[in-house]
Chains A and B, each alone.
Chain A
Amino acid sequence: MPFIPQASSAAGRVDAVFLFILVLSAVFLVFITATLVWFVIRYNRKRHPRGVDIEGNGWLEFAWTAIPTLIFITMFLYGWTNYSYMREVPRDAMVIEVTGRQWAWSFRYPNGKRTSHLLLAADRPVKLELHSLDVIHGFFIAAFRIKQDVVPGKVNYTWFVPTQLGTFDIECTVICGVSHAIMNAKAVVVPVEGFEAWYFGEEDDIPARFLKPASPAPAPAPESALELLNRKSCTECHSVDGSPMVGPTLKGIYGREGAVLDRDGRERAVMIDDDYVRRAIVDPAAEITRGYPPAMPETVMTDEELRRMVDYIRSLR
């Protein structure tokens, strides 16, 4: 499959079953189409003015019942055995908790680290346990050929071994509301050493250097404030140029007075200052801007990141 990477242990198996069925299907389609066209030409009314009423043939009916049945059962078995592999989790798999909500993904590692993108060690099996906080989502990484619905009240799972370094798209596949189409995240596969350095290190969320496309370029420039907002997925719902999106724009709000609803739905006026911006990021559900859905997830952030974010929003006035 040249147009889509095979980046996990499951990918080759899925593609093999697909190609098997594809080849048989192509043979069948060409055969049927060619036969139809040939009959239409050969038995055209000009060439063959009188039709012959052939009512059927028991042997032929038997053959084209039995042979497809056998072929279909072979396809079924091939699909089933490879699927079984995809459902049997090896014991040494690292268990990562995935939480979907309208409309963001978050990931929790066994040692408690929380991230907004999925950082993985190459060639190490992982099991993802899927939780939803609201409606059904679908967890899909095309490059890994894995997908599982994320159902509230139920913990589904999937597992795989990432086999290729790089950054791959995570997409939501079950309609979950207005921002379903931008409920994306990245799966970043790094060498084991890099993963362990992060996992046992000080940084909490995935450092920006992992999210950049791999390139041997000179030392990356320090992350800009806007890049920070991108990395924390803020800009998926909030614009910085005044254009309307799911959430209110960040442009020009600082220093104004705004109307918010508290947890009980009571309306209140607030001054948008340093303190409010900080509160709105740390505990967004406490004060929802009037006229917008209560959709913003709590985002993990260091004090330093929070300070830079507040500075940045202040600068957008």
Chain B
Amino acid sequence: MSSYLDTGGRGGIAGWIFSTDHKRIGILYLATMTGLFFVAVVIGVLMRVEQLVLDPPLFAPQVYNAFFTVHGVIMIFMFVLPGLGAVFGNFFLPIMIGARDVSFPRLNLMSWYAFVAGTVIVFVSLFTGDGAPDTGWTFYVPFSVRTGTNVTLGLTGVFMLGFSSILTGLNFITTIHRLRAPGMTWHRMPLFAWSLYGTAWVQLLATPIVGITLLLVIAERVFGIGVFDPAKGGDPILYQHLFWTYSHPAVYIMILPAMGAITEILPTFAHRTVFGYKAIAYSSMAIAFLGSLVWGHHMFTSGMSEQANLLFSLFTFLVAVPSAIKVFNWTSTLYKGSIEVRPPMLYALTFVFLFAIGGLTGLMQGALAVNVHLHDTYFIVGHFHYVMFGGTGVAFFAALLYWFPKMFGRTYNERVANLAWAPIFVGFNLLYFGMLVLGYMGMPRRYFTHLPQYHTGHVIASVGSFILAAGLVLFFANLVVALLRGKRAESNPWGGVTLEWRIGSPPPAENFDVIPEIQGRPYRFNPEVSE
């Protein structure tokens, strides 16, 4: 049977951009998102250069403000938010649950078009009107209403991106409910699918809130209605509530599929079943639920009521519990395994370490007294890069290394993948641990310059960013070489047991000749030896 890569009816580019095959759509997302990721990496590095060259500043303050806004918008809305769900979810969810495609393949393609349309609009906003948006990715009112830059168009683009997310969520929920293979009960579903299920609900329920909020800001800019601007009788704190009601759950949209992918990788390379299947599955749902009740921790210094501060701080600590449960179960999954540290495993273990730092620094900020000091400083920038980059980003790399042979039917050079790990790990920690220290010293975020006492820290962070960027280039160059010249991959190079490893590499166009019948729990690596 021919693979999805060489069928499709139409040839060339049309065969891709008009394909409703979930696998091709996954690849479309991978290609667009990787390109966007590198654009944002370059902007990130330029920001670090700015902190080295202070007097006169290398980039004008207005340019720097556009840099951090665009870096944030791209990384958040176009990379980590669609994240592992859009790429590996689209590609592997149907395969892992024994389906031939998602429930609504055409809607799935449309979600990619919404993504591309949103991206194009955001990029147009950079080069038209009176300058690129300069508000930061949070678009806080009243500054976002009053600034003369091209915020209206930028917001329209982000609004479009939201549609992509909603449609994907809707599709995944329906697919998981309707298209599981015979015998695949909820508790036989792979944990990556569980994590996508929790995520999809958040996408479906929370994204419309930010959509309408951004529309209100647009209406305020264009028609001058005063919902948020106090000069017109509005309430700027209301904007923050609405924005974070979505945008906090959104960070769980970003991290949950990453956790799911890690949960696939660890048992495969430990060659034993996952420890605490139900605990991991339900903790995903608990994170999705509790994560919807903590948005106020972005507003501890905004002057909202002390009762609200109290509750949001309490919930913030409670949402750490299911995350801790996952870390403990991942660790235990290695116990009495037969562990092979190949590149996906190396990156997955790195994920656990970096995500732990991200989570623990989150505890520090969740404590109200400490939050007052750390709010809006480099500490929070460091914290969310540990979670979003060290977490989601590194999990994305791990998942890419894990599933690359399956997706493309090619193998990559494992030594180079391991080699690229070193600069990524060292550079990452210099950069973001440096930011944590700078933040505690009092360095505020979104500054094109800094006071002299912070300079040493900035130099260390900048050097780290250069090392990290070099590692990223090596990492992706290795995969590009593999795409072009890699050896043919076997159908199951790592000895995995979920369904995707039982079909060819790359998978056939229809995934399965015959839809498999599921007999038992997933992750039974050693059915004859068990305790």
Contact = CB atoms under 8 A, between A and B. Distances in A.
Contacts of A1: 440
Interface in A136-160: 136, 138, 140, 142-143, 145-149, 151-154, 156
Contact of B140 (A76, A134, A136, A147): A136
A153 B238 CA distance: 13
A72 interface: yes
Given A54-B275, A152-B230, A25 B62 contact: no
A143 B321 contact: no
Contacts of A153: 230-231, 235-236
B442 A142 contact: yes
Contacts of B364: 18, 21-22, 25
B272 A51 contact: yes
Interface in B47-70: 56, 61-62, 65
Contact of B270 (A3, A28, A29, A51): A51
B174 interface: no
A43 B270 contact: yes
A76 B447 contact: no
B227 interface: no
A175 B237 CA distance: 15
B372 A52 contact: no
Nearest to B135: A175
Contacts of A217: none
A223 to B, nearest CB: 22
A75 interface: yes
B353 interface: yes
B372 A14 contact: yes
A48 B368 CA distance: 47
A200 to B, nearest CB: 33
Interface in B379-427: none
Interface stretch (A78-86, A109-117, A252-260, A281-289): A78-86
A159 to B, nearest CB: 12
Interface stretch (A59-67, A93-101, A299-307): A59-67
A284 to B, nearest CB: 18
Interface stretch (A30-38, A190-198, A206-214, A227-235): A30-38
Contacts of A51: 270-272, 336-338, 525-526, 529
Nearest to B320: A72
A52 B531 contact: yes
Contacts of A177: 65, 134, 143, 147
B215 interface: no
Contacts of B360: 21, 25, 28-29
Interface residues of A, number: 84
B317 A56 contact: no
Contact of A44 (B272, B279, B339): B339
B275 A52 contact: no
Contact of A53 (B135, B310, B530): B530
Nearest to A26: B360
A82 B150 CA distance: 43
B230 A147 contact: no
Contacts of B524: 53
A18 B441 CA distance: 13
A195 to B, nearest CB: 24
A176 interface: yes
A54 B271 CA distance: 11
A179 interface: yes
A261 interface: no
Nearest to A62: B279
Contact of B357 (A29, A50, A69): A29
A78 B364 CA distance: 11
A21 B349 contact: no
Interface residues of B, number: 94
Interface in B355-382: 356-357, 360-361, 363-364, 366-373, 375-377
Contact of B440 (A4, A48, A60, A80): A4
A152 B279 CA distance: 46
A261 to B, nearest CB: 15
B323 to A, nearest CB: 9
Given A73-B317, A83-B368, A182-B449, A56 B441 contact: no
A154 B364 CA distance: 28
Given A83-B369, A147-B372, A3 B441 contact: yes
A178 B324 CA distance: 41
Contacts of A246: 61
Interface string B75-87: 0000000000000
Contacts of A14: 369-370, 372-373
Nearest to A13: B369
B377 A173 contact: yes
A207 B377 CA distance: 31
B368 A79 contact: yes
A69 B320 CA distance: 8
A57 B273 CA distance: 13
A10 B140 CA distance: 28
Nearest to B272: A51
Contacts of A3: 441
Contact of B451 (A13, A50, A68, A169): A169
Given A17-B370, A60-B332, A33 B353 contact: yes
18 contacts: A4-B441, A18-B373, A25-B360, A32-B331, A33-B356, A43-B338, A44-B338, A45-B338, A48-B336, A48-B339, A52-B526, A61-B276, A75-B367, A76-B366, A80-B369, A140-B377, A181-B450, A246-B61
Interface of A: 1, 3-4, 10, 13-14, 17-18, 21-22, 25, 28-29, 32-33, 35-36, 39-40, 43-45, 48-57, 60-61, 64-65, 68-69, 72-73, 75-76, 78-80, 82-87, 134-136, 138, 140, 142-143, 145-149, 151-154, 156, 169, 171-182, 184, 243, 246
Given A10-B372, A173-B445, 16 more contacts: A44-B340, A53-B525, A57-B276, A61-B329, A72-B318, A75-B317, A75-B363, A79-B367, A84-B306, A147-B373, A152-B230, A156-B302, A171-B451, A173-B444, A180-B446, A246-B61
Interface of B: 56, 61-62, 65, 134-136, 140, 142-143, 146-147, 230-231, 235-237, 270-273, 275-279, 301-303, 306, 309-310, 313-314, 316-318, 320-321, 324-325, 327-329, 331-332, 334-341, 349, 352-353, 356-357, 360-361, 363-364, 366-373, 375-377, 440-442, 444-451, 521, 523-527, 529-531
Closest 4 CB pairs of A and B: A142-B442, A153-B230, A79-B367, A51-B272
